[in-house]
Structure 1
């Protein structure tokens, strides 16, 4: 079969898999990961000295340490293949399908990395801003919500955008736990047509184009937010 026929037959299913699985998997995992990251970052910067918060800080530190220090593919395999091996009275304690395992793993991994980004962004806000807000009688939660987090969000936008683009590419690892995303489809057609070079090159090109579009959107978003910051400072 000639090259153009293979492309014509395999490209539509690959694009469909990207729309049906790759992009939704990325979006859901990133949103859940961001929620987890904000929570973890707020716990890490908490100044509370009570025993509960100390224990929570230790748990969050351990979670971040584990997920930042181990390969994503290993994490996927542990969640999908390993957790069902934990049994109680002969029954699996947790039985996950591939989609759920993928979302859980990608969310936890994203949350671990993004939490450090957000924590660093919060720490970059000058301390006098905290003190000025406290002097006005604002509570810590109100200071965070109205003053610190909006600024930290703008500071963390570039690295978080890069994390999102990386997550798009990392979802290709989901093929290892049988999620039929775009790379998995390219593997199937590579085996069907005995042309791995062509099919994997097509997959690489699609990822490249998607990443390029997201990078352009990221640059526009950064320009928009920087313009917003400049306008706010003028007033």
Structure 2
């Protein structure tokens, strides 16, 4: 039992795949979320419409469906692109499709977190920057974003823990993460209760580590900040 009937290494490999999926999808989701929030808070109507459409459409469709759409729905386009470069069998592998789908969904939800954080920065700070002759780009980079992160981190941390668990959805396209490797172990041993609990504990450990990292990031972001009554 110490090596889980020989499936211990396979489950550890699945855990490592889950970590890779989450860490690769995170920067993509952060970029999409920040871009969506800047678009929604922009004074330009077309950008507001673009940011709102992205967050509404992506959040309105289940994550599992996005995984299937990106993996299977891009087959024709990828083959058409590959045929132009002499590779007619070009296709997204399950890992790339999973990262894109998870990053897309994370970005849609983080758009609202970023938007709320941007709006939480007092308007007077922007006006002070303009009075000092700073460009809008420097005001965003030097004044708004540093303050925004402190407000956004709790929400982003919660979304990252959801992202860690949503990696289980990628098992439907054949990627050997925690749930798929647990399924393989169950099929080989006929011990569903044992390996489902092992998978649950693995997710619990990963999310606990994420919570610890979130705590220290929030503590770091609050350095020098004085709470006023």
State TM-score, norm by structure 1: 0.86
Partner in structure 2 of residue 16 of structure 1 = 13
Partner in structure 2 of residue 34 of structure 1 = 30
Tell me the CA shift for residue 227 of structure 1: 3.0
Partner in structure 2 of residue 197 of structure 1 = 193
Q: Of the candidates 132, 140, 146, which is equivalent to residue 144 of structure 1?
A: 140
Equivalence map 1:73-152=2 (5 Å): 73-84=64-75, 95-152=91-148
CA distance in structure 2 between the aligned counterparts of 1:71 and 1:109, rounded to whole angstroms:
9
Tell me the CA shift for residue 178 of structure 1: 0.7
Partner in structure 2 of residue 71 of structure 1 = 62
CA distance in structure 2 between the aligned counterparts of 1:129 and 1:55, rounded to whole angstroms:
26
Distance 1:12 1:162, change over 3 A: same
Native 8 Å contact 1:84 1:93 kept in 2: no
Q: Structure 1: state its 5+ residue gaps.
A: 49-53
Q: Of the candidates 145, 151, 171, which is equivalent to residue 175 of structure 1?
A: 171
Equivalenced residues, count: 222
Which 10-residue stretch deviates more, 68-77 or 208-217? 208-217
CA distance in structure 2 between the aligned counterparts of 1:16 and 1:83, rounded to whole angstroms:
28
CA deviation digits over 1:105-130, x for unaligned, max 9? Answer: 11111111111111110011111111
Q: Secondary structure at the match of 1:229?
A: coil
CA distance in structure 2 between the aligned counterparts of 1:56 and 1:25, rounded to whole angstroms:
30
Measured on the aligned residues, the alpha-carbon RMSD in Å equals: 2.4
Native 8 Å contact 1:6 1:193 kept in 2: no
Q: Secondary structure at the match of 1:227?
A: coil
Q: Secondary structure at the match of 1:95?
A: coil
Tell me the CA shift for residue 6 of structure 1: 6.4
The structure with the largest helix share of the pair is 1
Native 8 Å contact 1:114 1:160 kept in 2: yes
Q: Secondary structure at the match of 2:113?
A: helix
CA deviation digits over 1:166-191, x for unaligned, max 9? Answer: 11111011101111112111110101
